[in-house]
Chains A and B, each alone.
Chain A
Amino acid sequence: MHLLLIVAAFLCSGTVEARKVRGISSSYKRFYRERKSFLCIDGSKMIPFEQVNDDYCDCADGSDEPGTSACPRGRFYCTNLGFRPHYIPSSRVNDGVCDCCDASDEYNSHTRCQNTCWNLGQKERAYVEGQMRTLDEGLRLKQRLIEEGVLLWREKQAQLRELQQAAEDLQVKLEEHRRRKHEADQLKEQTIKSLEVGKDGFRPQNTSVTSLFQLLDNNKDGSISVDEVKAKVVLVHDEKRVLSEDEALVLLGGGREMDLTKFRHTLWDILTRGDNVKIKDGAPGGPANEDPHLKEADRAAEWEATSLRKVEEAYETVNMEISDLQKKLDIDYGTDWEFLFLSGQCYKLQVYEYNYTLCPFNQVTQKSTTGTEVSLGMWGMWAGPPKNHYSQMVYENGEPCWQGGSRTTTVTLTCGTETGLRSAKEPSKCQYIMDFQTPVACQPVLKQRGVHSEL
């Protein structure tokens, strides 16, 4: 209100010059002081002052006709009191279309223009206030998101470090397990070898002789009987036939019983040589399999192998996670990592028959109601202008287009209090543009804009 009064007062005091010269701003008034002649502002020509705004273009720069449409490159100043003043091309003066909200451009036309400046001003002020609130809120949220971003960044870094630590630990473990597996394998091999040596005449270890003795000694009375031999020992060449009494007796060295000591020196040799007789199949363990040492070594080797595999898998997983995380951390999330929180999120929007999904730093897709999903591009890069690099994202190499090339999406980021997709369009075939609103796109510089009124 104060402003209006001041303006009114100013206008009153300046009536003499101001009434005559239509279409100029106050800062240009000095060029249009009522004199005998008028010098074109570019200095190119001097004309009588009556020829200013006389609806004929005399000056090449159009400066003699600020209030008419006479000059091709002229401009007309809309004062727009109560709203924002601005210039319009002079071709819009008296063209039957209301351009200035104060109706000053249609002073000689059929069109009745309303002065809408006050309404527009109010709307604009409300809008700007809204924008300011949005901006304030946005900037506040942005600050939080930046802080969160920093935390998230640190968290991710920590996560990375943890993972890297885990990888290192796993590496150590891996070495250890490899060593142990190696040892176990060696032991197993040795055992097998020693068993093989035993076959060739070496005395097998006590335990082995004993275990075979125990196997034959069914009733565990400390000696092997004829029946016990008949039950477990068969001819190599005729496994089906049960040994006769005599044959068993021969194996027992003529006696009906044989103790461990005698077994060790007689039957053990025969059985391990395996030329004529052997332990019946199905009876647990031949002399070799039977060997508890070997069994143990085998089990150990297997155990170590499994452990190693597990560690290896874990190592691979961790490494994969590291490289994933590193790839993600390599992306430019803004100077303050403020865009980091978008990573891993997806935002949807339905436009006509299509559902659009934007997963920032990942991909854009379009799904039609008929159900087919089409890629509109994979994360490419930031593509804003140099002074506002983070205002635009490009997603490229989407589904190919049949006329050549592939689908690409350009996402413009605008300031808002909430994060979400606001619009999705396809202005040209396979070229998509999206409007994505988020607090982190809010820029403090916006705050300087507002309603100015001409004084």
Chain B
Amino acid sequence: MATFTERMAPVLVLWLAVCLSGTWAVDRGNFKTCDQSSFCKRQRALKPGESPYRALLETMELTNTRLTLQLINDNNKVRLLLELYRLQGNITRVKINELKPLKPRYEVPDVLVREPPTEPLSVLSQDENGVVLSLGAESQRVIVSARPFRLDIMEGHDVLMSLNSRGLLAFEHLRMRKDTQAEPEAENKEEADSANQAETAKEEEEKVEEGMWEETFKSHSDSKPNGPSAVSLDFSLPGVEHVYGIPEHADTLRLKTTDNGDPYRLYNLDVFQYELYNPMALYGAVPVMLAHNTKRTTGIFWLNAAETWVDISSNTAGKTVFGKMLDYVQGSSETPQTDVRWISESGIIDVFLMLGPTPKDVFSQYASLTGTQSFPPLSSLGYHQCRWNYNDQEDVRSVDAGFDEHDIPYDFIWLDIEHTDGKRYFTWDPHKFATPKEMLQGLLEKKRKMVAIVDPHIKVDSNYKIHNEIRSRGFYVKNKDGGDYEGWCWPGSAGYPDFTRADMRAWWASMFAYDQYEGTMENLYTWNDMNEPSVFNGPEVTMHKDAMHGSWEHREVHNLYGLYVHRATAEGLIQRSGGVERPFVLTRAFFAGSQRYGAVWTGDNAAEWDHLKISIPMCLSLGLVGISFCGADVGGFFKSPSSELLVRWYQTGAYQPFFRAHAHLDTPRREPWLFGPENTALIREAVRQRYTFLPYWYQLFYQAYRTGEPVMRPLWVEYPQDPATFAVDDEFLIGRDLLAHPVTEEGSRGVTAYLPGKDEFWFDIHTFQKHNGAQNLYIPVTMSSIPVFQRGGSIIPRKLRVRRSSTCMENDPYTLFVALNTRRSAEGELYIDDGHTFNYEKKEFIHRKLSFANNVLSSVNLAPDAQFTTKSWVERVVILGASKPGKITLKTADGEESQLDFEFDASMSVLTIRKPGMNAGEDWKITLK
């Protein structure tokens, strides 16, 4: 929906108008560079190869679950405690904290789904230079080197990953402020340890750099009462040239090296009109990076919620293909290697090394730590119609009617901030939305739903119940002086509830009860925007870092705030139905673990072709780190799309997980039927295609919920050994079996899609034409083209009776698309449940394996202990790449056999089996003779 300034008071509007008249882009000056963020500048100034840290091997303790070891900084004698855990599922956890911090340092709670179960570690060998530990069953070892301290994780003879190999471990210990000199004892104790060295060490320590104890940015000052507290660690990834992840950035899928610019920044910010292809921070942050080469995929999860910067460098980055080849031919080259360095402003080092070896192993490793994508209601995978704003109930009614008139399906219509009574969330404008239940009932009768926005900034207004409650319960975030923190946002002066408090979240959740949130019904869902949090008059449009959440500074929890808002809201929606119904909540800010609470979108993009293109890598990057339910505003939020761009965006969005059109208040209307009958037809067709694939999307989301595998995937995830796929981000896979290369170029006459897999066939889903894998295929396109291919070897269940909403299609029959591979076989799955409750957790679902081999197509139960009945049946089977059979018979569960009619299209080798008619939940077998 909305960023900063553009909805602001006239003064700002004027100011903005001036800004906008120049270039149309982010005002970079509003946001910090590494140089302007004192800890980043300090840390980045460190030189590699001068690590002052030494492991004190004699302090090593090994229990069944962990190894601990002290590290000492030889410059200042401050000791750190290293903890090393071997976690189940091939994960190694490394935690580093101060041995005796002046006060506790923040450790991120509520992100891990549980205390990760450990596996035993054992010492293989030890001498004065280091220790070799065995990492469980696989031939993996950790080598702890003492001087300087360094960790190497080995498998066989290969180094998978090294920590502090460049000596950039840095841990700014908490200290007393020198100019106050209140209690110098703490320092004295340290000095007592050693004699001479301590003197010089103290000298060094006392060098108080600018920005350590106070920092200003623009007109904002950060009081930093705890002084410097940054942590940093480097990781070397030998043999790796491709790293991914650490969203959210508007950048390519493959991360770039950062030597010549700023590091990638992770700090949740409301960036007005963000720029593309740069490492600036955006609305959300997931500190997870994946590294991949043809042999292995690994991941690094840096669990820290403070402002974080990530530097990436590579020894091959600058080299041309020819240069690399020359290296190879001459055999002289060093192994390619990527070095990564994480720098966080505060907290501790708590890092999870996910050691793969396959991409799917990494997904499940990460899922075991932070959970999987919540299983969304089926309807939320349909099309969403949003705009800032639908003005009143009559407007909603007429847009709803427009979809029926133009025969375009949709499931959700959305209301942005103007629906409230003066930006007081949980209320309705008394004139424009005087009878919300009537409106919701009208939608319900058409089996459609609505989303209304609830932002976390609360209008300071003593006549507003929500504000009064939060204030009287002391639930607001406090400023550094102990008063309620106030910032400027849509309602004007606003307070920010402290969502880090469990009691606050419980109270917030209770506000979604039907008797609390008046005018709501079961088909109203929620949208959390502005939860970075956005503070119009705060530093970098967010909260002051010295604001207080209980005893913790905002600095410590910043990137977590949005996750907590999302969580409390999702819990509210669950609770209002007594735990029966699945929630649907969209969030703009997120963190590791946000996948457990719902969907995210890529924020306030723009109606530009490059923004359409970037939607692919942005959602792919999110999928890699667990957040599958991702989408970009179709059409672009700011500015007005040409009809060509709008159509192309619908065609792209129809094949991305979260499919919502949205538009800025100042743009002209753009409901799908406003661009002439031809474009209406093109948009209708794109949306209809989406609805035919809903069974497949739903099954993929079930899979994502079960395994953590992304729904929308980069090609390399399925073709990890094909380097040609490693940097592809203009096309993507949906699950394993669909490949989409949407048209994202203006005036395009054709696209070149890379079809992966040496032994694969790819079938055009529209024409059924078969193409071989491992080729670049030129596809001529017209305005109606959406290049999408089904993988040979797959079976995709679809529902071809597209109706006005997904709920209307609940009992519809399936058509099975069976695409044969070179071995003339295929496999797929079919998942069915009620589509909206948590009853699937009680084993109320149908999960079947569909397979075709030896001319027999059969359905077998994948979950024999689950129970569910469906009215849906199989109306048609389409076999792609088939040959003509003599006859076809069906054998159903009760043993009855019958002959089936079929048609065969010899030109495309398509066999269509007419109306087999068996129930989709039963066992059956179709034999081609």
- List chain A positions with a Cβ less than 8 A from chain B: 54-56, 58, 69-70, 72, 89, 91-92, 95-97, 352-353, 401-403, 425-431
With the chains together, A56 CA to B913 CA distance in Å? 11
Given known pairs A97-B447, A352-B431, A402-B17, the reply for A427 and B669 (CB within 8 Å) is yes
User: Contact at B667–A429, with CB atoms within 8 Å?
Assistant: yes
Given known pairs A425-B391, A426-B391, A427-B395, the reply for A91 and B803 (CB within 8 Å) is yes
The distance from the CB of A230 to the nearest CB of chain B, in whole angstroms, is 83
B360 within 8 A of A: no
CB neighbours (8 Å) of B17 from chain A are 402
With the chains together, A352 CA to B914 CA distance in Å? 58
With the chains together, A339 CA to B35 CA distance in Å? 69
B13 within 8 A of A: yes
User: Contact at B803–A69, with CB atoms within 8 Å?
Assistant: yes
Given known pairs A72-B801, A91-B803, the reply for A428 and B445 (CB within 8 Å) is no
User: Contact at B391–A427, with CB atoms within 8 Å?
Assistant: yes
Choice from A56, A69, A352, A402 contacting B432 with Cβ under 8 Å: A352
User: Contact at A428–B668, with CB atoms within 8 Å?
Assistant: yes
Q: Which residue of A lies closest to B809 (CB)?
A: A95
User: Contact at B801–A96, with CB atoms within 8 Å?
Assistant: no
User: Contact at B801–A69, with CB atoms within 8 Å?
Assistant: yes
With the chains together, A91 CA to B13 CA distance in Å? 48
User: Contact at A402–B13, with CB atoms within 8 Å?
Assistant: yes
When each residue 664-682 of chain B gets 1 if its CB lies under 8 Å from chain A and 0 otherwise, what string results? 0111110000000000000
User: Contact at B808–A96, with CB atoms within 8 Å?
Assistant: yes
The distance from the CB of B532 to the nearest CB of chain A, in whole angstroms, is 24
B455 within 8 A of A: no
User: Contact at B875–A72, with CB atoms within 8 Å?
Assistant: no
CB neighbours (8 Å) of B296 from chain A are none
CB neighbours (8 Å) of B803 from chain A are 69, 91-92, 95
With A58-B914, A69-B812, A426-B391 known, 17 other A-B pairs at CB within 8 A are A55-B875, A69-B803, A91-B407, A91-B802, A91-B804, A95-B809, A96-B808, A97-B445, A97-B446, A352-B431, A401-B666, A402-B13, A402-B17, A428-B667, A429-B666, A430-B666, A431-B669
CB neighbours (8 Å) of A431 from chain B are 668-669
Most buried by B among A69, A95, A430, A431: A95
With the chains together, A246 CA to B16 CA distance in Å? 95
B154 within 8 A of A: no
Choice from A58, A95, A428, A430 contacting B804 with Cβ under 8 Å: A95
CB neighbours (8 Å) of B809 from chain A are 95
The distance from the CB of A398 to the nearest CB of chain B, in whole angstroms, is 15
CB neighbours (8 Å) of A430 from chain B are 666
With the chains together, A55 CA to B803 CA distance in Å? 15
Can you list the 9 inter-chain pairs with the closest CB atoms, starting with the nearest?
Answer: A95-B808, A56-B915, A403-B666, A429-B666, A428-B668, A91-B803, A428-B669, A352-B431, A95-B803
With the chains together, A293 CA to B800 CA distance in Å? 110
Most buried by B among A58, A96, A426, A431: A96
B residues 437-462 touching A (CB-CB < 8 Å): 445-447
The distance from the CB of A67 to the nearest CB of chain B, in whole angstroms, is 14
CB neighbours (8 Å) of B391 from chain A are 425-427
User: Contact at B665–A429, with CB atoms within 8 Å?
Assistant: yes
With the chains together, A430 CA to B667 CA distance in Å? 9
With the chains together, A85 CA to B190 CA distance in Å? 92
CB neighbours (8 Å) of A426 from chain B are 391
Q: Which residue of A lies closest to B388 (CB)?
A: A429
CB neighbours (8 Å) of B395 from chain A are 425, 427
With the chains together, A72 CA to B692 CA distance in Å? 11
The distance from the CB of B485 to the nearest CB of chain A, in whole angstroms, is 30
B residues 791-806 touching A (CB-CB < 8 Å): 800-804
26 interchain pairs, CB-CB under 8 A: A54-B915, A56-B915, A69-B803, A72-B800, A89-B407, A91-B804, A91-B808, A92-B804, A95-B804, A96-B447, A96-B808, A96-B810, A97-B446, A97-B808, A352-B431, A401-B666, A402-B13, A402-B17, A402-B666, A403-B666, A427-B395, A428-B668, A429-B665, A429-B666, A429-B668, A430-B666
With the chains together, A58 CA to B812 CA distance in Å? 17
Sorting the interface of chain B by its residue count into under 10, 10 to 19, 20 to 34 or 35 or more gives: 20 to 34
CB neighbours (8 Å) of B875 from chain A are 55-56, 70
The distance from the CB of A37 to the nearest CB of chain B, in whole angstroms, is 14
The distance from the CB of A130 to the nearest CB of chain B, in whole angstroms, is 21
The distance from the CB of A40 to the nearest CB of chain B, in whole angstroms, is 14
CB neighbours (8 Å) of A401 from chain B are 666
CB neighbours (8 Å) of A91 from chain B are 407, 801-804, 808
CB neighbours (8 Å) of B802 from chain A are 72, 91
With the chains together, A70 CA to B914 CA distance in Å? 12
When each residue 778-822 of chain B gets 1 if its CB lies under 8 Å from chain A and 0 otherwise, what string results? 000000000000000000000011111001111010000000000
With the chains together, A353 CA to B166 CA distance in Å? 65
User: Contact at B667–A70, with CB atoms within 8 Å?
Assistant: no
CB neighbours (8 Å) of A69 from chain B are 801, 803, 812
Q: Which residue of B lies closest to A90 (CB)?
A: B801
With the chains together, A202 CA to B17 CA distance in Å? 81
Q: Which residue of A lies closest to B802 (CB)?
A: A91
The distance from the CB of A183 to the nearest CB of chain B, in whole angstroms, is 63
The distance from the CB of A61 to the nearest CB of chain B, in whole angstroms, is 16
The distance from the CB of A92 to the nearest CB of chain B, in whole angstroms, is 7
Most buried by B among A69, A92, A403: A403
With the chains together, A351 CA to B669 CA distance in Å? 20
With the chains together, A352 CA to B395 CA distance in Å? 14
CB neighbours (8 Å) of B669 from chain A are 427-428, 431
Q: Which residue of A lies closest to B431 (CB)?
A: A352
The distance from the CB of B330 to the nearest CB of chain A, in whole angstroms, is 59
Choice from B13, B666, B801, B807 contacting A70 with Cβ under 8 Å: B801
With the chains together, A91 CA to B684 CA distance in Å? 14
The distance from the CB of A71 to the nearest CB of chain B, in whole angstroms, is 9
Q: Which residue of A lies closest to B407 (CB)?
A: A89
Q: Which residue of A lies closest to B915 (CB)?
A: A56
With the chains together, A72 CA to B808 CA distance in Å? 15
User: Contact at A56–B808, with CB atoms within 8 Å?
Assistant: no
User: Contact at A97–B804, with CB atoms within 8 Å?
Assistant: yes
With the chains together, A403 CA to B666 CA distance in Å? 7
Q: Which residue of B lies closest to A94 (CB)?
A: B811
The distance from the CB of A389 to the nearest CB of chain B, in whole angstroms, is 21
With the chains together, A96 CA to B871 CA distance in Å? 14
The distance from the CB of B873 to the nearest CB of chain A, in whole angstroms, is 9
CB neighbours (8 Å) of A427 from chain B are 391, 395, 669
CB neighbours (8 Å) of A403 from chain B are 666
With the chains together, A401 CA to B446 CA distance in Å? 37
B residues 392-408 touching A (CB-CB < 8 Å): 395, 407
The distance from the CB of B391 to the nearest CB of chain A, in whole angstroms, is 7
With the chains together, A429 CA to B7 CA distance in Å? 13
CB neighbours (8 Å) of A58 from chain B are 914
CB neighbours (8 Å) of A70 from chain B are 801, 875
With the chains together, A58 CA to B902 CA distance in Å? 11
With the chains together, A55 CA to B915 CA distance in Å? 9
CB neighbours (8 Å) of A429 from chain B are 665-668
The distance from the CB of A72 to the nearest CB of chain B, in whole angstroms, is 6
With the chains together, A430 CA to B665 CA distance in Å? 10
CB neighbours (8 Å) of B876 from chain A are 56
Q: Which residue of A lies closest to B398 (CB)?
A: A427
With the chains together, A54 CA to B812 CA distance in Å? 14
The distance from the CB of A434 to the nearest CB of chain B, in whole angstroms, is 14
CB neighbours (8 Å) of A428 from chain B are 667-669
